[in-house]
A and B are shown apart, each in its own frame.
Chain A
Amino acid sequence: MSSQTAYTWGSIALMVTCSTVGDVLISKSMKHVGDIGELRKRAGLGTVIRRVAGTSTFWIGLFFMMITFYTLLFALSHADVSLVVPATTSLTFVTNAVAARFFLHENVDGRRWAATVFVFVGVALLAS
Chain B
Amino acid sequence: MTLHRYLILAAMVVLSSVGDVCLSRGMRNIGALSVGDFRRLIPAVFSPWVGVGVLLLLGFFAAYSIALSWADLTYVLPASSIAYVLVAVLGWLILHEHITPTRWAGILLISCGVGIVAGGPIATRRHHPAEEPHS
B95 within 8 A of A: yes
Interface residues on A, range: 35 or more
Q: Given contacts A70-B41, A100-B74, are A111 and B116 in contact (CB under 8 A)?
A: yes
Q: How far is the CB of B59 from chain A (nearest CB, A)?
A: 14
Q: How far is the CB of B92 from chain A (nearest CB, A)?
A: 7
Contact check, A81 vs B91: say whether CB atoms are below 8 A apart.
Answer: yes
B88 within 8 A of A: yes
Interface residues on B, range: 35 or more
Interface residues of A in 13-38 (CB under 8 A from B): 23-24, 26-27, 30-31, 33-37
Classify the interface of chain A: helix, strand, loop or mixed: helix
A115 touches which one: B27, B50, B78 (CB < 8 A)? B78
A-B contacts, 17 listed (Cβ < 8 Å): A7-B34, A36-B69, A73-B33, A78-B32, A80-B91, A83-B103, A90-B114, A93-B77, A93-B114, A104-B73, A111-B116, A111-B119, A115-B78, A119-B110, A124-B106, A126-B103, A126-B106
Q: B: which residues have CB within 8 A of A? A: 4, 20-21, 23-24, 27-28, 30-35, 41, 44-45, 50, 57, 61, 64-66, 68-70, 72-74, 77-78, 81, 83-84, 87-88, 91-92, 95, 97, 99, 102-103, 105-114, 116-117, 119-121, 124-125
